[in-house]
């Protein structure tokens, strides 16, 4: 049973529960291969890769397990440790047995790309694309083909490079690397290309192999694009094909450009070429300028659209909290709404490129938890992309992606859309993730709780494991009057929790219509809320507007409130004494015996230690005053009874004085 529970927890994205269930299974039955592999996966998710690898090694070496799952797990371990050759060996063994397994193909694609074996990576990716066929896989396959072309170009294999670039462009006509590579291979096409591709002439100036090794060549190619360059020393024309000295004065100062004052000197030719190519480096620079508050940078990122998402996300995650990070967040949300597939692809790329061990050592925050904040702020334009994920389930085996999908539908705040999660998610999985979401992010969704039975109410809000009473209370405060009975019905069925009652008591200090709602609901549960009502009534920080509502609720409890009110009195006077004395005095006659019993310490509420404290003079003095202020004859009888039993001279004198005043008042 523990084995099945552990597997269910792992599939539902709860690695901690999976670990607890699977550990005893492996201890009792060490040869249970499925349990050992699942335990290894759970340990990975809990950032314990060393222990995960130990489980996989034992499965392979000790128990001679040769299944594809074992080899896949070992391959991931070795890849993370940087042992790519051994990782590929284990992976190939697994693929021999299951040549069309999607997980194996995905890992083979990523691993071979990481090793620079792009042709082999393309073959694995092509098999996966034939099974999946999504736009995300198509664009990624184009990127792999472009990398294979660039690799061939570096080796001087121009024909192979041309073939790879054509494959990439066939998959994705917008693939910039392949467009650039094709132009480099056929300079004769530059003039024609410039008519429909404004940046073509500049793209041709990029040589991948020489960009870093020969910066002076890079500068010379830039210079050749600007014939109006002139020498800053003598003003001579610098229509040249290299960055050599001025032919007139032999100055080696960098040229300036009369018609391009904004361009100035080539102080950073690599940055300039990044701008020309509009590559990731350029967009990261733009994102940094945007975080610094430059409106021009923001406009350029907006214009770049989807291709700016990944670099923008990289800078956002590296940025410290503050106005700069929020500016980047707003841009990411805007672009994510327009290009949700690019945002999902960027997340996949970052997930694959991160090192779990290094993240754990350096304390890097969980990527998906950080992205969840952004995904909850996306709007309706992104809905088709997330709906497609739900409809086809592609990628939803990834626990992190599953959580992000929940984040999106929660943030959307649409009841109709949220309930579409039901076919793909269990209530347990949704509730577990909602407990990690800030309470206020749930309020707009809870406000839409419909009348009667619904997935939101019955499966989610009534789940006892949902730890978000604060969100329920705030939703009650914000909803319209017609929705209030739905909250009453919910709490009648589920029962009020401690946090819920505390939250309702706090609402008594809000706007009048909100306070009235809270009071009406508290009347239904006043006995359960009694201690919280008294605590709020005795609190000097409680708003004055809440006091009449608290008095009304407490007076309606009659004798039951005496025990809690008596606990307010300490061994010395306090701010709340007079307030509680007046409330005790205003209770109906049926409460007087309780006050008298409290005085005589005959109730069992206070234990032996507390009873010693209770016999302090101040609490009894407060009770005498409460009885004094009660005009009923029954109160006077109670005081007379106290006079007969009180042995303390000071308190006895006070009681006699109270009786004398009451007698004089009657006469």
Tell me: the pLDDT tens digits for 587-610?
988 899 999 888 876 333 444 444
Six token digits for residue 311: 């670099």
pLDDT given for residue 448 in this prediction: 92
Percent of the chain whose predicted confidence (pLDDT) is above 70: 72
In the predicted structure, residue 118 carries a pLDDT above the cut 80: yes
pLDDT given for residue 334 in this prediction: 94
Q: What is the pLDDT of residues 310-342, one digit of tens each?
A: 888 888 888 877 888 999 999 999 999 999 999
Report the alpha-carbon distance of residue 205 to residue 187 in Å, rounded. Answer: 10
Six token digits for residue 414: 């649409």
pLDDT given for residue 343 in this prediction: 93
pLDDT given for residue 437 in this prediction: 94
pLDDT given for residue 360 in this prediction: 47
In whole numbers, what is the pLDDT of the chain averaged over residues?
Answer: 78
Q: What is the pLDDT of residues 69-88, one digit of tens each?
A: 555 555 565 555 555 666 67
In the predicted structure, residue 372 carries a pLDDT above the cut 90: yes
pLDDT given for residue 351 in this prediction: 84
Report the alpha-carbon distance of residue 667 to residue 663 in Å, rounded. Answer: 6
pTM for this prediction: 0.57
In the predicted structure, residue 357 carries a pLDDT above the cut 50: no
Dihedral (Cα; 109, 115, 119, 125), 10-degree rounding? 10
In the predicted structure, residue 198 carries a pLDDT above the cut 80: no
In the predicted structure, residue 470 carries a pLDDT above the cut 90: yes
| Contact between 357 and 49 (Cβ < 8 Å) | yes
- Does residue 510 sit in helix, strand or coil? coil
Q: Which residue has the tokens 């202020």?
A: 629
> Which residues contact residue 287 at a Cβ distance below 8 angstroms, ignoring those fewer than 6 apart?
297, 301, 308, 311, 312, 314, 315, 316, 328, 331
In the predicted structure, residue 522 carries a pLDDT above the cut 70: yes
pLDDT band at 138 (very low <50, low <70, confident <90, very high): confident
In the predicted structure, residue 116 carries a pLDDT above the cut 70: yes
Q: What is the pLDDT of residues 485-499, one digit of tens each?
A: 999 999 888 888 888
pLDDT band at 371 (very low <50, low <70, confident <90, very high): very high
pLDDT given for residue 251 in this prediction: 75
Q: Which residues pair with 230 in a beta bridge?
A: 237, 256
> Which residues contact residue 267 at a Cβ distance below 8 angstroms, ignoring those fewer than 6 apart?
254
pLDDT given for residue 68 in this prediction: 52
- Does residue 480 sit in helix, strand or coil? coil
Out of 33-42, 66-75, 198-207, 391-400, which region has the weakest mean confidence (pLDDT)? 198-207
Tell which wins on pLDDT, 172 or 59: 172
Report the alpha-carbon distance of residue 68 to residue 74 in Å, rounded. Answer: 10
- Rounded average pLDDT over 216-230: 49
pLDDT band at 55 (very low <50, low <70, confident <90, very high): low
In the predicted structure, residue 363 carries a pLDDT above the cut 70: no
Q: What is the pLDDT of residues 401-448, one digit of tens each?
A: 999 999 999 999 999 999 999 988 999 999 999 999 999 999 999 999
pLDDT given for residue 224 in this prediction: 47
Report the alpha-carbon distance of residue 140 to residue 591 in Å, rounded. Answer: 77
> Which residues contact residue 191 at a Cβ distance below 8 angstroms, ignoring those fewer than 6 apart?
none
pLDDT given for residue 461 in this prediction: 93
Tell which wins on pLDDT, 445 or 189: 445
pLDDT given for residue 229 in this prediction: 62
For 341-355, give the DSSP string: HHHHHHHHHHHHHS-
In the predicted structure, residue 615 carries a pLDDT above the cut 90: no
Number of residues that this document lists for the chain: 667
């Amino acid at each position: 049973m523990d084995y099945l529970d552990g597997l269910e927890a792992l599939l539902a994205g709860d690695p901690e529960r999976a670990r607890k269930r699977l550990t005893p299974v492996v201890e009792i039955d060490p040869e249970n291969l499925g349990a050992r592999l699942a335990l290894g996966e759970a340990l990975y998710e809990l950032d314990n890769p060393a222990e995960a690898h130990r489980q996989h090694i034992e499965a392979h070496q000790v128990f001679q397990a040769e299944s594809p799952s074992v080899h896949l797990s070992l391959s991931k371990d070795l890849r993370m440790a940087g042992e790519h050759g051994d990782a590929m060996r284990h992976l190939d063994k697994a693929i021999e047995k299951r040549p069309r397994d999607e997980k194996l193909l995905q890992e083979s694609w990523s691993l071979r790309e990481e090793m620079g074996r792009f042709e082999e990576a393309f073959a694995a990716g092509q098999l996966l694309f034939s099974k999946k066929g999504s736009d995300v896989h198509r664009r990624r396959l184009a990127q792999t083909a472009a990398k294979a072309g660039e690799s061939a170009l570096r080796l001087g294999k121009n024909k192979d490079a041309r073939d790879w670039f054509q494959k990439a462009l066939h998959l994705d006509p917008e693939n910039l690397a392949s467009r650039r590579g094709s132009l480099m291979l056929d300079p004769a096409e530059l003039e024609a290309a410039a008519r429909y591709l404004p940046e073509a002439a500049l793209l041709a100036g990029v040589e991948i192999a020489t960009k870093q090794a020969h910066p002076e060549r890079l500068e010379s190619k830039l210079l050749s694009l600007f014939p109006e360059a002139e020498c800053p020393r003598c003003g001579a024309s610098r229509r040249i094909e290299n960055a050599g000295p001025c032919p007139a004065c032999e100055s080696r100062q960098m040229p300036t450009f009369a018609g391009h004052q904004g361009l100035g000197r080539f102080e950073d030719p690599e940055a300039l070429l990044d701008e020309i190519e509009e590559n990731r480096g350029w967009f990261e620079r733009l994102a940094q300028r945007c975080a610094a508050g430059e409106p021009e940078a923001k406009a350029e990122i907006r214009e770049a659209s989807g291709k700016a998402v990944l670099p923008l996300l990289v800078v956002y995650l590296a940025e410290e909290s503050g106005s700069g990070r929020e500016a980047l967040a707003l841009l990411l949300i805007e672009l994510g709404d327009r290009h949700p597939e690019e945002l999902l692809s960027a997340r996949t790329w970052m997930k694959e490129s991160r090192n779990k061990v290094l993240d754990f050592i350096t304390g890097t925050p969980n990527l998906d938890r950080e992205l969840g904040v952004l995904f909850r702020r996306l709007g309706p334009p992104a809905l088709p992309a997330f709906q497609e994920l739900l409809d086809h389930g592609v990628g939803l085996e990834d626990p992190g992606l599953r959580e992000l999908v929940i984040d999106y539908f929660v943030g959307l705040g649409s009841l109709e859309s949220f309930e579409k999660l039901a076919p793909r998610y269990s209530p347990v999985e949704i509730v577990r993730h909602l407990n990690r979401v800030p309470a206020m992010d749930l309020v707009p969704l809870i406000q839409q709780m419909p009348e009667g039975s619904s997935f939101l109410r019955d499966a989610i809000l009534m789940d006892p494991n949902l730890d978000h009473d604060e969100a329920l209370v705030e939703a009650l405060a914000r909803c319209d009057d017609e929705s209030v009975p739905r909250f009453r019905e919910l709490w009648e069925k589920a029962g009020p929790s401690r946090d819920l009652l505390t939250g309702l008591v706090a609402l008594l200090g809000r706007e009048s219509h909100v306070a009235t709602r809270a009071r009406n609901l508290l009347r239904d549960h006043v006995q359960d809320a009694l201690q919280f009502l008294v605590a709020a009534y005795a609190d000097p920080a409680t708003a004055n507007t809440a006091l009449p509502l608290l008095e009304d609720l407490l007076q309606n409890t009659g004798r039951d409130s005496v025990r809690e009110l008596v606990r307010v009195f300490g061994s010395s006077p306090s701010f709340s004494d007079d307030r509680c004395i007046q409330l005790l005095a205003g209770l109906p006659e049926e409460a007087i015996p309780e006050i008298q019993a409290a005085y005589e310490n005959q109730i069992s509420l206070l234990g032996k230690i507390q009873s010693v404290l209770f016999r302090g003079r101040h609490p009894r003095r407060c009770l005498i005053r409460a009885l004094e202020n009660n005009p009923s004859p029954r109160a006077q009888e109670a005081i007379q009874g106290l006079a007969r039993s009180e042995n303390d001279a000071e308190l006895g004198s006070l009681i006699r004085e109270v009786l004398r005043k009451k007698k004089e008042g009657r006469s």
